[in-house]
Amino acid sequence: MDRTDRFINNRAPRKLLLVFLLLICISAAAAFFISKLCADRIVKAQISTQLSAMGGGKFTDKADEASIAKAEELLRSYSIDRSLSPEIMHSYKTVRMTVFMPIFVLMASLSVIWFVIAVHELMNIYRDLEKLRADCLDAADRSNGVIGLYGEDLGCVHRISEAADTLADRMNNLHFRLSSEQRFLRDFLTDLSHQIKTSLAVVRLNTDMLSELDNLPQEHRDKLADEIQLNLGSMEKLVIEAIKLAKLNANAVEYDMELNSLAEICRMAVTRMSPLLRSKEIIVKDELSDDIRLSCDKGWLCEAVENIIKNSADHAECTEISLELKENPIMITLALSDNGKGIPQAEIPKLFERFSSRSNDKTMYSSGLGMSIAQKIVRANGGDIMVYSEVGKGTRFEFVFIKD
């Protein structure tokens, strides 16, 4: 949009033009009345001076009253005295016009200067707004759009540009988050369906065998039934954990943050895992101080500890798990260590991936959703999980909570 279009298609320039015309009229009216007052005083002074001269006085800056009285006495028969109206004098119009023109030209010139400056600044503002509009449309049409900063510093257009740039950054961030969530949802559903399909295939196959093979020995029937129950249990657990992870990712969990004993939380987790630990003949040792307390959600943090213990029990091939609590003025550390086979350094970044066991790497340490859930729970409670491992010597998980 060029200057003419901006001038015609916006109200503000037209309003400025109306104000300018009003100022011209005011200037003419003001010059008219000022010139009348000036002409009256000037011509009256001329009348007094001329009367003084006719009465024998001299031209001075102040007329001689005696000479004026003498002249009035001489001219009384002609009705000429100081009360004579200035407007009937032949010089009145000339004097008034002489005064009117400079005043009008001066006031009109000031109005013109104001109008030109105002229109110029307004056109610059419209120009910057047009550029800002183009940037906004560009940012709306594509991601990572950049908004230029226009106008003078601390000016309205500059502040609007900054606000628009902030809005564009937030839109880009939101677009990135939505894209990430979309990718996460797509991958999550793909992995979940793959995991469920595997169990469903086993259930369907065993069910078909049980229904079609009439002469199948009872021992084989019991084995097939056990496999069906095992896979159904696995699917149920998978669905429950998937729903839980989805809630955690959507920030739909309301945490009950209270001051709790970390030792009590760890012992509760060990108690819940006791059947699994006994079945695998794993000993649990702890160095837990009951004095160390943390503001956290007791139930959720207990589940995070359970998931780490379960992963160590299922995949580390360990015989001992140690729990340790440390506190210093900066942070609280909860460490869970095992004496298992350890994790190669290249695989540590994969520990907290969803369904990381889908990898063809048979030495993959983590599987399922437990580790991802544990990491999200710890982060939601103000901490993070650090992993230290050495192949053949074991792995150490540290829950690190920075103090407020």
The residues of the chain scoring below 50 in pLDDT are 357-367
Tokens of 172: 């880009």
In a domain, 156, yes or no: no
State the pLDDT at residue 400.
95
Q: Are residues 242 and 264 in the same domain?
A: no
Provide the 10 A C-beta neighbour count for residue 219: 8
Instruction: State whether the Cα torsion 113-114-117-120 is positive or negative.
Output: negative
Residues 6+ apart with CB under 8 A from 263: 286, 288, 289, 290, 292, 325
Q: 387: which DSSP letter?
A: E
Radius of gyration of the chain (CA): 48
State the pLDDT at residue 128.
84
Contact in structure between 255 and 219 (CB atoms under 8 Å):
no
State the pLDDT at residue 399.
95
List the end-to-end C-alpha distance of the chain, in Å, as a whole number.
55
- Rounded CA-CA distance 127/119 in Å is 12
- Rounded CA-CA distance 227/206 in Å is 8
State the pLDDT at residue 367.
45
State the pLDDT at residue 282.
92
- By CB atoms closer than 10 A (0-12, 13-18, 19+), residue 1 is middle
State the pLDDT at residue 319.
92
Q: Supply the CATH number for residue 361's domain.
A: 3.30.565.10
In a domain, 287, yes or no: yes
DSSP 367-384: -TTHHHHHHHHHHHTTEE
- Rounded CA-CA distance 151/128 in Å is 7
State the pLDDT at residue 61.
60
In a domain, 182, yes or no: yes
Query: Which residue do the tokens 């110029």 mark?
Result: 120
In a domain, 293, yes or no: yes
State the pLDDT at residue 362.
38
| Domain count across the chain | 3
Q: Are residues 238 and 282 in the same domain?
A: no
Tell if the pTM clears 0.85, that is, is over it: no
Contact in structure between 158 and 132 (CB atoms under 8 Å):
no
Q: Supply the CATH number for residue 218's domain.
A: 1.10.287
Q: Are residues 219 and 278 in the same domain?
A: no
